[in-house]
Chain A
Amino acid sequence: MALTLKHLFAVIMLSGAFSLVSAMLFVVMDAVDVAFTEAAVGAGVSTVLMLATMALTVRVQKETKRPILFPLVVVCLVGVLLIYGTLDMPNFGAFDSPAQLHLGSTYLSITYKDMGIPNVVTGILASYRGYDTLGETVVVLTAGLGVILLLSGLKGRKDKE
């Protein structure tokens, strides 16, 4: 849909709906924390920001005469390679996959003993992987600073002349 639609308003609204649906999919796959974040971020804030950008730029996409064949070939090639890569993977939901055997189960068994909180995701996020989260917070701050610097009133070339 996002390919053929010309009105960007519809495209942005559909992308918000996509975020909401993917949040439901995360709930089905047991990732409640992730679903929570995706619903708040994807369907809420990112839609608002995209609409603000659209209001500042254009409403309708221009007709393009770009070649379609080359991107299609590239995308198909990438797809074949990725699917070839999944052939070695364990089945969806398997108990004996390498991802389940080592760290995940260890965290599940030691989190309550170490810190006495039942939400394992919070425990890993804030304590076992505290360094990671510090880094991510700094990344969020840096991206925010970038936006503030870009949009803080310095006018473009056209306005100066």
Chain B
Amino acid sequence: MDSNLNFIYGHLPYWLFIILMLSGLFIVVSRGNLIKKIVGLNIFQTSVFMFYISIGKMKGGTAPILLDKSDNNSAVIYSNPLPHVLILTAIVVGIATTALGLALIIKIREEYDSVEEDDIQKMDQKDLKKYNKKNVLETNS
């Protein structure tokens, strides 16, 4: 019984991050507004970062900045620095790609006059029909 409780406590953080990640995914899949999709993608991204960092956390550890410089096997416990490095760069790349996505949204707005996915798909289908009709006419004549 005690080990079960221990297991649940030990895994609860992971599950919380997964639930947060799923809420981001749900926003991306179910909402039509493109800006909202980007916000959902940001939530998704940040929760993946949290999950990654949580793998490197050590109980009773501290930030990986060495306190005692003379010898390194002292009593201080440091958390794993490797996930920190990977996520640090990922955050900055994430903002750069988010900016690219927002720039694409602005171009889409200029082209379609809308940022709702449903409207954009409707217009695309209309264009496709027009194009097909024109092609059929040309091949017939």
A and B touch in their complex, CB below 8 angstroms: yes
Q: How many residues of B contact A (CB 8 A)?
A: 84
- Binary contact readout B26-67 vs A (1 if CB under 8 angstroms, 0 otherwise): 110111110110111011001001100111111111111111
Contact flag A53-B106 (CB < 8 Å), given A121-B85, A156-B111: yes
Kindly state the interface size class of chain A when it binds its partner: 35 or more
Contact flag A15-B43 (CB < 8 Å), given A56-B109, A136-B92: yes
- Binary contact readout B82-118 vs A (1 if CB under 8 angstroms, 0 otherwise): 1111011101111111111011111101110101101
Contact flag A50-B102 (CB < 8 Å), given A91-B10, A120-B66: yes
- Binary contact readout A84-121 vs B (1 if CB under 8 angstroms, 0 otherwise): 00110111111101011001110111011100001111
| B14 A129 Cβ-Cβ under 8 A | no
Interface of A is mostly: helix
| A56 B81 Cβ-Cβ under 8 A | no
Beta-carbon nearest neighbor of B113 in chain A: A158
Measured between alpha carbons, how far is A32 from B87 in the docked complex, in Å? 12
Contact flag A109-B72 (CB < 8 Å), given A120-B64, A132-B89: yes
Measured between alpha carbons, how far is A22 from B44 in the docked complex, in Å? 12
- Binary contact readout A132-161 vs B (1 if CB under 8 angstroms, 0 otherwise): 110010011001101100110001111100
Measured between alpha carbons, how far is A159 from B116 in the docked complex, in Å? 20
Q: Which 10 A-B pairs have the closest CB atoms?
A: A91-B10, A156-B110, A104-B80, A143-B96, A93-B59, A30-B79, A71-B30, A71-B29, A118-B66, A136-B89
16 A-B residue pairs with CB within 8 Å: A8-B35, A15-B39, A34-B53, A38-B46, A49-B99, A58-B115, A64-B33, A66-B30, A66-B31, A91-B6, A91-B10, A92-B13, A107-B81, A150-B100, A150-B104, A156-B107
